[in-house]
Amino acid sequence: MRSTDGYGENAKRLAAQYESITFEDTHRCVLHLFPAATSRVLDIGAGSGRDAAALAALGHTVIAVEPTAELRDAGRRLHTASAIAWVDDMLPDLDVVRGRNERYDVILLTAVWMHLDADERRVAMARIVDLLTPRGIVIMSLRHGPVPAGRRMFEVSATETIALAASAGLRCIHESAREDMFGRANVSWTILALQGDSR
């Protein structure tokens, strides 16, 4: 199975679901970590563009990476007025993004990391570090719970992710647990913020 399986055929429903919750509610425990000054943001797995649009509205320069064409199209339709650059690319390699030769102050991975197996996570973490500015921040959510039918997901722990980040030169500056915002009793989330050291 591919990481994107189950998303294209359900894009309309998923986009409506994503847009039903605000950026502020989704990221309430880490809102204080987003820079106030205009910054470059890379939203990996941008989905419907909800977060990308909110950040663009705050004045940030936002690159929205979404490998599912149906979700990219939905995002463009939903957020036509937003200054978002949409990119067709995906983890672990991010070849298109890397080809832009840019670095980012914030890299956002919302409900993405669980789609990668252990080898892919190692490659992806190295790619993310390469794209981060000195002292830049990675904000990510880790999903815990059963895998929906037709999806490719893996159980990923905060401990493993923090250790992998540390081996790549990132330190954990925030860790918190959160209930599922769509009311699924058997699904929960860990929110992590990782910061690079000056280099």
Domains of the chain, CATH where assigned: 11-196 (3.40.50.150)
Contact (Cβ atoms closer than 8 angstroms) between residue 141 and residue 23? no
Measured distance CA(170)–CA(163) in Å, rounded: 9
What pLDDT, on the 0 to 100 scale, is given for residue 198? 53
pLDDT tens digit sequence for 41-71: 999 999 999 999 999 999 999 999 999 999 9
Tell me the pTM: 0.93
Q: For each of the chain's 199 residues, which pLDDT tens digit applies? A: 677 666 777 788 888 889 999 999 999 999 999 999 999 999 999 999 999 999 999 999 999 999 999 999 999 999 987 899 999 999 999 999 999 999 999 999 999 999 999 999 999 999 999 999 999 999 999 999 998 888 889 999 999 999 999 999 999 999 999 999 988 889 999 999 999 875 4
- The DSSP-derived string for 4-53 is TTTTSTTHHHHHHHHHTS-HHHHTTTTGGGS-SS--EEEEET-TTSHHHH
